[in-house]
Amino acid sequence: MDDNVENYINFLSDDCLICIFNKLESESDRNAFGLTCKNWFKVRNIARKSIIFHCSFNPKVYKEHANCLSKLLARSPYLNLVSLAGLTELPDAALNQLRISGASLQSLSFYCCSDQGIAAIFRNCPNISTIIIAYCRGLSGVGFRGCPGTLSHLEAESCMLSPDGLLDVVSGGGLEYLNLYNLKSPTGLDGLDRVGYARSLRFLNVRMCRYLTDDSVTAIASGCPLIEEWSLAVCHGVRLPGWSAIGLLCNKLRILHVNRCRNICDQGLQALGDGCVCLQVLHIHGCGKITNNGLASFSIARPNVKQRADEVMCIGPSIEDLFRLQ
């Protein structure tokens, strides 16, 4: 390289280098940028907006990922997005490292957390908007108490949330998307009526919540007037009073999933058809108590509602784009 060119490069300010880095589109180019020299490596870390740890079944690689987490977080103080889903044995203490990114962190994904870990996130990251967790059997939900109003997207698949914990989950008031797929109950009783306090909720997935009762369905239908899509697939505890409440109260509901619900019958389907004035799509199959005549009557009464037999696991707008490397 010409000495004059090299001297000019050495005198480029960090702001100028960050501007150049942000113009790079491929990850390979960004990695090459950081290998140029120590200063450019520092700039690359400062400009980094996301860190994703992918799952590895190699114990050596897994250990290396766990060991370098603190160093990576310390070097990257302006992260918007962190996915720790590849670290399935992450201790709560590791989540305290997120304070380095603090107010800039908006999206976080990880497995197996406790209430203490969740509380640490909210202490350190006041602008967090998206949290994805799964299989947290040691999480009751009380760690969400006082969560910020910025929290709008929450996925908590196969977690063990208590009724009081569910109330804390919605305490921030900003939730628009809530996925409680396969929610576990520590008492064996239904506590999902607390979701009815999420007044801003637009997308709700309670698929395979087998403890769900008509009372909770009614509370949610009454308390969440903005709900647009609702998955009740494989919710066997919902009967005619629950379906009637949805038909009567869910005036903005566009998409409803009732796949493999054992206790939706012709009368329940009619209640949905008589109400739900904005309904556009009904996912329905495997409902043994619904007759061919019941389906035909619904189709005649609501010809503009598209009936689909496919069973959808994820509902609402895709939030996977939030966890693509920036």
Clarify whether residues 38 and 165 are in a common domain: no
Residue 138: the pLDDT is 85
For 288, phi and psi rounded to 5 degrees? Answer: -65, -25
State the average pLDDT for the chain. Answer: 85
Residue 227 pLDDT exceeds 70: yes
Residue 7 pLDDT exceeds 60: no
**By the 8 A CB rule, do 195 and 217 touch?**
no
Range of the domain at 22: 12-47
In 3D space, the residue among 154, 72, 162 whose CA is nearest the CA of residue 121 turns out to be: 154
What CATH number corresponds to the domain at position 166? Answer: 3.80.10.10
Residue 241 inside a domain? The answer is yes
Q: Which long-range contacts (CB under 8 A, 24 or more apart) does 263-268 make?
A: 263/236, 263/237, 263/238, 263/239, 263/289, 264/238, 264/289, 264/290, 265/240, 265/289, 265/290, 265/294, 266/290, 266/291, 266/293, 266/294, 266/297, 267/240, 268/239, 268/240, 268/242, 268/243, 268/244
Clarify whether residues 30 and 92 are in a common domain: no
Residue 5: the pLDDT is 46
Clarify whether residues 58 and 38 are in a common domain: no
SS3 (DSSP) at 292: helix
Mean pLDDT value of segment 241-260? 98
SS3 (DSSP) at 108: strand
What CATH number corresponds to the domain at position 20? Answer: 1.20.1280.50
Residue 284 inside a domain? The answer is yes
d(CA 274, CA 45): 57
Mean pLDDT value of segment 242-269? 98
List the beta bridge partners of residue 130: 107, 153
Residue 3 pLDDT exceeds 90: no
Residue 93 pLDDT exceeds 90: no
Residue 278: the pLDDT is 98
Q: Are strands 177-179 and 203-205 parallel, antiparallel or unpaired?
A: parallel
Clarify whether residues 79 and 207 are in a common domain: yes
Residue 2 inside a domain? The answer is no
The encoded tokens of residue 80 equal 């918007």
List the beta bridge partners of residue 195: none
Residue 317 inside a domain? The answer is no
Query: pTM for the complete prediction?
Result: 0.86
Give the relative orientation of helices 240-249 and 266-274 as an angle to the nearest 10 degrees: 10
Clarify whether residues 73 and 189 are in a common domain: yes
Mean pLDDT value of segment 90-113? 80
Residue 143: the pLDDT is 94
Residue 35: the pLDDT is 59
The model's pLDDT over 197-212, given as tens digits with 9 standing for 90+, comes to 999 999 999 999 989 9
Mean pLDDT value of segment 95-116? 83
Clarify whether residues 142 and 23 are in a common domain: no
Question: Both ends of the chain: CA-CA distance in Å?
Answer: 30
d(CA 260, CA 242): 16
Clarify whether residues 38 and 64 are in a common domain: no
Q: Given pLDDT bands bounded at 50, 70 and 90, which one contains residue 68?
A: confident
Clarify whether residues 121 and 20 are in a common domain: no
Residue 41 inside a domain? The answer is yes
For 50, phi and psi rounded to 5 degrees? Answer: -150, 150
Cβ neighbours around 86 below 10 Å, total: 18
Residue 305 inside a domain? The answer is yes
Clarify whether residues 37 and 168 are in a common domain: no
Clarify whether residues 29 and 145 are in a common domain: no
DSSP class of residue 184 equals B
The DSSP secondary structure of 137-159, one letter per residue, reads TT--SGGGTT--TT--EEEEET-
Helix (H) or strand (E) holding 109: strand 107-109
Residue 307: the pLDDT is 97
Clarify whether residues 25 and 88 are in a common domain: no
Mean pLDDT value of segment 230-242? 97
Residue 324: the pLDDT is 47
Mean pLDDT value of segment 182-195? 90
The structural domain count of the chain equals: 2
Residue 7 inside a domain? The answer is no
Clarify whether residues 125 and 75 are in a common domain: yes
Residue 269: the pLDDT is 98
**Sheet (strand 306-308) strand order:** 50-52, 81-83, 107-109, 130-134, 153-157, 177-179, 203-205, 229-231, 255-257, 281-283, 306-308
In percent, how much of the chain has pLDDT > 70? Answer: 79
Radius of gyration of the chain (CA): 24
- More confidently predicted of 186 and 309: 309
Residue 320 inside a domain? The answer is no
